[in-house]
Amino acid sequence: MTRRVAIAGVGISKFGELWEQSIRDITLEAGMLCIFDSGIRGGDIDAICIGNMSAGRFTGQEHLGALAADMGGLGNVPSYSVEAACASGGAAVRQAYMAIRSGEHDAMMVLGMEKMSDVTQTEAMNTMSVASDWEWEGLGGATFPALYAFMARRHMYEYGTTEEQLSLVTVKNHANAAHNPYAQFQRPVPLEVVMKSGFIADPLRVLHSSPISDGAAGLVMCSEEKARELTDTPVFIEASTQASDTLALHDRKSITRMDSVVISSREALKKAGLKIDDIGVIELHDSFTISEIMQMEDIGIAKKGEGGKAVEEGITQIGGNSPVNTSGGLKARGHPIGATGVAQIVELVYQLRGEAEGRQVEGVEKGMAVNIGGTGATSIVHILGR
């Protein structure tokens, strides 16, 4: 018999270039904060699941599950880490969801983390590039900015998407991050500044791209019965889905659509018994601003080719019909790769509990997080409700 799965507590470190903190420090911070938030005793945590892309290459440290159990003083609990490129955090949440729903565990800690700033920018870019098809893309010099530039240019060609529309995503997300105390960039950015920033891969500019970031985020996930013992405000995971697409862009029918997002989001809505219009707040994976526009179309809040226009019309702003990335998104909150998918869930929990001060969406009851890996080769979607 399957069980409902709830989130009883959340925690998140500051995101940014955290020169004075190690991967141990930020992971311990997020873990302790989610334990304190839930009120759970350490001895009641049955297992730990870690989301991380490449700590071995970024910091020299692997075996993160055992490290987290050791640091947290949680003794001999089973602990493990999962990897799905930029969707590693979402994968960790999904693994815990399935374990608790099946009855294997009653309460788990989920942690996502990445420490990216301890290597040079070139080393960081090379590490991130292994999440693409290395043989067909990476070895040929196609970095992620280049791959997303292909997608952006094709979207502009097919649908008339403009550079200003790409830039308005940045403006919106920085405005939201100004009210997020955990965000890497807590300041608004004017449109003209975005459009004058340097190119990294035409048509994408520096301020169309998420930064290199350090950070960690954590959840305490439980069965419904356990969650109700711990808190009066549990948030329930109403659907958890995952889909894949080709790793290389050249194998896709269209590079202006992420089929993995289309499939996983539709399946999540079906499992939750909801329509996209029922979702009051959405966290999308805006590693580049074109990614947010494409995902808006893929999940159905804009028709295909009209994502840029929808941004221009303000439907994704707080107060719009479909607020997107109230946290500031990857662009402004930051993108420590393994932490991102968990951080998206943290933001939705804050919103559903009415605790997103300064960026709160009024009356929100349902939230969706879309966490992708690479250029959309992996998509993991979660729908939350209070």
Residues labelled as active-site residues: 86, 335
DSSP-assigned letters across all residues of 143-159: -HHHHHHHHHHHHHHHH
Residues with Cβ < 8 Å from 375, sequence gap 6 or more? 132, 144, 147, 148, 151, 249, 258
Tell me which DSSP letter residue 209 carries: B
Tell me which DSSP letter residue 15 carries: P
Distance CA 334, CA 186 (A): 10
**Both structure tokens of 83:** 């990897």
Distance CA 385, CA 377 (A): 27
Contact 353, 310 (CB under 8 A): no
**Both structure tokens of 222:** 């439980």
Contact 33, 50 (CB under 8 A): no
Q: Is the peptide bond before 188 cis (omega within 30 degrees of 0)?
A: no
Residues with Cβ < 8 Å from 19, sequence gap 6 or more? 117
Contact 217, 110 (CB under 8 A): no
Contact 140, 293 (CB under 8 A): no
Count CB atoms within 10 A of the CB of residue 294. Answer: 30
The helix (run of H) or strand (run of E) holding residue 110 is: strand 107-115
Distance CA 322, CA 22 (A): 37
